[in-house]
Amino acid sequence: MTDKEKRELEARRKEAAIKNMYYTRYFSVRYATAFFFFANLYWLLMLYLSEAGLILLLPLSQAAAAAVAMWEQSRMFTTEQREARFTRYFYYLSLAVNLLLLFLLLLGQYHGFYPFFSVSSTTVLFLTVLLAAGLLLSFLMLTKLHRIAHKTDQQYQRIQRYLANL
């Protein structure tokens, strides 16, 4: 290998490392989005098997929004970071849906959304915990996206230190 080839290889390696570092900023967001996608698909399947009717559109729209957010995140493998606009919208939507479902659950109107569960206090407790976890995860991901957009996340600081040391 010539010196020129070694320098080119080293330059490509550094460029790939920087791209990976930028892509890593969205690590937890990508996994949380995938979690919501599959949770909504599971909910959709359970509703379909329960012959629930038009309520199927709610988890279907949530899963579709998550799919768009995952597509957007897959395009973040670059050093030119764009705002994760669709991902942010997805988490606002998820936050709103979880709040609505929690409100309806507390009013005792949950059976239409979850016809595959029995009507009991255990079900209410389980769904309350599940929806509260969804709310918390959505809020945490919105906070993470806010930090990334304003370049105050820890990974961005690491990237800046790495670039300064080059």
- Which residue range(s) make up the domain with 131? 3-165
What is residue 82's predicted lDDT score, i.e. its pLDDT? 82
Q: What is the mean pLDDT of the chain?
A: 92
Minimum mean pLDDT among 26-30, 65-69, 77-81, 139-143: which range? 77-81
Q: Which residue has the higher pLDDT, 15 or 37?
A: 37
Strands (E), 53-109: none
Report long-range pairs for 30-35 (Cβ below 8 Å, ≥24 apart).
30/70, 30/73, 32/137, 32/140, 32/141, 33/66, 33/69, 33/70, 33/73, 33/87, 33/90, 33/141, 34/66, 34/70, 35/137
Position 162 scores a pLDDT of: 86
Count up the domains in the chain and report the number.
1
Q: pTM for this one?
A: 0.89
Per-residue pLDDT, 55: 94
